[in-house]
Amino acid sequence: MILAKVVGTVVSTQKEQSMEGLKFLILQQVDLEAKATGGFVIAADAVDAGIGEYVLYATGSSARQTTRTDKKPCDAVVMAIVDNWEVQGKFKYKKGQDD
Amino acid sequence: MILAKVVGTVVSTQKEQSMEGLKFLILQQVDLEAKATGGFVIAADAVDAGIGEYVLYATGSSARQTTRTDKKPCDAVVMAIVDNWEVQGKFKYKKGQDD
Amino acid sequence: MILAKVVGTVVSTQKEQSMEGLKFLILQQVDLEAKATGGFVIAADAVDAGIGEYVLYATGSSARQTTRTDKKPCDAVVMAIVDNWEVQGKFKYKKGQDD
Amino acid sequence: MILAKVVGTVVSTQKEQSMEGLKFLILQQVDLEAKATGGFVIAADAVDAGIGEYVLYATGSSARQTTRTDKKPCDAVVMAIVDNWEVQGKFKYKKGQDD
Amino acid sequence: MILAKVVGTVVSTQKEQSMEGLKFLILQQVDLEAKATGGFVIAADAVDAGIGEYVLYATGSSARQTTRTDKKPCDAVVMAIVDNWEVQGKFKYKKGQDD
C-alpha cells in the first residue's frame, strides 16, 4: 500500500455504469516525513476519507477487494485512514496534531 | 486511476480476434493543472470518449471489468469522462471552460 | 497497451513446459513520433508479428487473455499489429510508408 | 519479490473491515549491499516480522496468496524473513551479523 | 517478460508456509547488449536456473502460472533459460560463448 494525502476530488457523470455512486479522490503521495513527493493518483473511496486526511491506498486487482469496488473497473482504492505512523520508534505523523 | 487527455487513435486490422470492435485511444497523461506530463498510453474506450476530452483510465486486470473489455487482452481502459476536478477547494479544470 | 516496434527474438529451449511453441519477441518501446525511447520488453506473440512491425502489447494478467497465452506464465503479449496512428488529426505513422 | 528492511509501522482504526487484525509495516527498499535506496512501501505482515529485520515482500494479486491476506484489499505483503543472501558466491548479508 | 542474469540467492527459513521448497534467485536486469542495468529483483525458480545464466522472468499474477508457484505469494518467476537472442538479425548473446 502507498501513503498519501487526500487533496481533492474528480467529478464524472459519463462513466462505466458500475462506477455510479463511487467517489473519486485525488491523492498526493507523501514520504515518511508526510511531505508530498510530486506523484498523485485518482482512487475510489472505500472508507469515507475527507480532504486533508492521510490514507493508505491499494492498487491493481487488490483495489477491487472492497464492498464498494467489487467487480468494477477500479485500479486504486483508499482502504484505510491513517491515525499515525512511526519510523525507528519515533512518530512521524499523528492525526490531529500534524495536519 | 490516472488523469489523461484523449489526443488520438490507433488503427489495427490484424489483432487478437476478441479485440474486434474496440477503439484504441491515445491518451496523454496530465498533471493536476491539466498540463501534459510527457507520458502516454493506448487504452480501449468503454465510454465513447472523444478527442480533446479529459478522462480517467484504469489499468491491469481492472481494465477488463467493463462490458466492452471483459476477458480481452486489454490492460488499459477509459472508464470515465471527466467533468471537473478540484484541489484544496479550487477548480483546476471545468469541462467546456478549460478545454 | 503500449506502442512498440518488433526488433528481435529470444530463443529458449529450457523453459516452463506450457511455454512450448510460443515465440518470444523483443520489443522496443516507441514514442508518438515512432522513435525508440530506450525501453524494451520481451513479449509472447499472439498475432504473428514480424521484425520491423509496429505493434501494441498488453501486460499483466491481460497478457494471458489470448488463445495462445491462456494460463501461461506470460506477462506481456503482442495482441495487435498497428496500421497507423494519428495525433490531433495528423498521421504520425502509416504502415508501408513510415517503416 | 523485493528486498527490504522493516523500519516502522502504520496505525489505522478506520479501514475496510476485512483489514482488521492485519499489521501494516513500513518497508524501506534496499540494494544488494543492504543499503536503503530511498523507496518505501507499506505492506501487510504475514510472517511476524520485526523492526530491523530484512524481508522479502510480494506485490499485486500475489500479495493476497497468504492465509492472512486472502480476499483483502492488500497489494503488498511480507512473506519471508531473510536469513542471508549472497551474490557471486559472496555473502552480502547475514542475519545477526550485519544488522 | 524481462531479460536478466542470475547472480545470487536469498535464504529464508521463516516464511509463508506455501513457499517451502522454492528457491529464491537474485536477478540482475540486463540490456540488449547483455550488460547489467542496475535494477534487480528476487524471483522464484521454476526451471532450475544456475548462477551466471541469462533468463526470462515473468511478474504479477503470471508469476503464479507455473507448477511450482501456483497459488503462492510469489510475484516474480524465472520461467525460461535463454539460449540466445538477436536484434535486427545480429546475435547479441549466445549461451556458452558470451557468458
Residue E99 lies in a domain: no
The whole-number pLDDT of residue A98 equals 78
Q: Whole-angstrom distance between the N-terminal and C-terminal Cα of chain D?
A: 21
Residue B13 lies in a domain: yes
Residue D93 CA to residue D82 CA, distance in Å, equals 9
CB neighbour class for E32 (10 Å; exposed up to 12, middle 13-18, buried from 19): middle
- Greatest Cα pair distance in chain B: 47
The whole-number pLDDT of residue D23 equals 98
Three cell numbers at D71?
480476499
∠ Cα E84 E90 E96 (to 5°):
30
* Single-letter amino acid, residue E55: V
For D7, the domain range is 2-94
Domain count for chain D? 1
E residues 25-64 lying closer than 8 A (beta carbon) to D: 26, 40-44, 51, 59-61, 63-64
Nearest to E61 among D31, D47, D62 (CB): D62
User: Are C15 and E81 within 8 A, CB to CB?
Assistant: yes
Query: CB of C18 within 8 Å of any CB in chain B?
Result: no
Three cell numbers at A77?
482504492
The whole-number pLDDT of residue A99 equals 77
Residues of chain E falling short of pLDDT 50: none
Residue D87 lies in a domain: yes
Nearest to A26 among B48, B61, B87 (CB): B87
Residue D99 lies in a domain: no
The whole-number pLDDT of residue E98 equals 78
Residue A82 CA to residue A54 CA, distance in Å, equals 5
What pLDDT digit, counting tens, does each position of C40-59 carry?
A: 999 999 999 999 999 999 99
* Single-letter amino acid, residue C40: F
Percent of chain B exceeding pLDDT 70 equals 100
What pLDDT digit, counting tens, does each position of B27-63 carry?
A: 999 999 999 999 999 999 999 999 999 999 999 999 9
User: Are B79 and A8 within 8 A, CB to CB?
Assistant: no
The whole-number pLDDT of residue E99 equals 77
What pLDDT digit, counting tens, does each position of C12-27 carry?
A: 999 999 999 999 999 9
Q: What is the pLDDT along chain A (99 residues), one digit of tens a residue?
A: 999 999 999 999 999 999 999 999 999 999 999 999 999 999 999 999 999 999 999 999 999 999 999 999 999 999 999 999 999 999 999 999 877
Residue B74 lies in a domain: yes
Q: What is the CATH number of the domain that holds E87?
A: 2.40.50.220
* Subunits close to C (at least 3 CB pairs below 8 A): B, E
Going by C-alpha positions, the residue among B67, C96, D13, E60 that lies closest to residue A53 is: D13
What is the rounded radius of gyration, in angstroms, for the C-alpha atoms of chain C? 14
Residue E84 CA to residue E91 CA, distance in Å, equals 7
Residue E12 lies in a domain: yes
* Single-letter amino acid, residue C13: T
Q: Are strands D36-45 and D24-30 parallel, antiparallel or unpaired?
A: antiparallel
Average pLDDT of the residues in D17-44: 97
Distance of CA D75 to the CA centre of its chain: 12
Going by C-alpha positions, the residue among B52, B40, B63 that lies closest to residue C4 is: B40
CA atoms within 13 A on the CB side of C2: 25
Query: CB of E77 within 8 Å of any CB in chain C?
Result: yes
Three cell numbers at A61?
486487482
User: Are C83 and B19 within 8 A, CB to CB?
Assistant: no
Residue A55 lies in a domain: yes
Three cell numbers at C43?
513479449
Nearest to C73 among E62, E83, E87 (CB): E62
Residue C99 lies in a domain: no
pTM: 0.97
Sign of CA dihedral C36, C39, C45, C46: negative
The whole-number pLDDT of residue C99 equals 77
E51 in Cβ contact with E6 (< 8 Å): yes
Band of the pLDDT at B98, cuts 50, 70, 90? confident
Query: CB of D78 within 8 Å of any CB in chain E?
Result: no
Q: Partners of C44 in the beta sheet? A: C24, C77
Cα distances from A25 to residues A42, A62, A85, B30, D14, in angstroms, run 6, 17, 22, 16, 17
